Amino acid sequence: MKELIIIRHAKSDWGNSSLKDFDRPLNKRGMTNAPEMANRLVKQNIIPDLIVSSPALRAITTAKHFAQAWQIADKEIKLEPNIYEASRQTLFDIINDFDDRYSRIAVFGHNPGLTDLLNYLNGHVYEMPTCGVCYLQFPIDNWSMLSHGTGKALLFDYPKSDQL
């Protein structure tokens, strides 16, 4: 079995119009939501073998909050530049190339690519909210075997889900 933890970056700050999109930081809500969502996963013992993140500031900052909760050193986070602004196909190709020694991998990235990827893998996510988490399981032994519709969502959670 292979398992993916797909996480969209937390809420980012749009206050400084001189910043490039890549360099936008998390806003106050994002800085609160990221550790909260990470702790929800820790309570369920959902901890990855590897963290792979977009290098965009808002994504890597979110990944670092999760890494802290998972007790994984920041230096262990693998930066994957192609996740930034990635299409579903690019994300899919990245995942197909993951090292098979890792069974559970967390991927931090952006919309619309993440929502498109999740719908391609299992078809049950309308929109991946900021700091949303989808935990998927696949009946495969190699990441290269990951294919359309093979994922089973074990968890879909996001910061405001407890307010419904």
Answer whether residue 164 shows pLDDT above 70: no
List of domains in the chain:
2-13+21-163 (3.40.50.1240)
Query: What one-letter code names the amino acid at 154?
Result: L
Q: What is the pLDDT of residues 86-141, one digit of tens each?
A: 999 999 999 999 999 999 999 999 999 999 999 999 867 778 999 999 999 999 99
Residue 162 has a pLDDT of 65
In sequence order, what are the beta bridge partners of 6?
A: 107, 134
Alpha-carbon distances, residue 91 vs 64, 104, 110, 120 (angstroms): 20, 16, 10, 11
Question: What is the dihedral sign for C-alpha 147, 3, 144, 64?
Answer: positive
For 3-24, what is the mean pLDDT? Answer: 92
Q: What is the pLDDT of residues 37-94, one digit of tens each?
A: 999 999 999 999 999 999 999 999 999 999 999 999 999 999 999 999 999 999 999 9
What percent of the chain clears pLDDT 70, i.e. is strictly above it? 98
Answer whether residue 17 shows pLDDT above 90: no
pLDDT band at 163 (very low <50, low <70, confident <90, very high): very low
Residue 105 has a pLDDT of 98
Residue 154 has a pLDDT of 93
Which two structure tokens, joined as six digits, stand for 45?
């013992």
Residue 15 has a pLDDT of 81
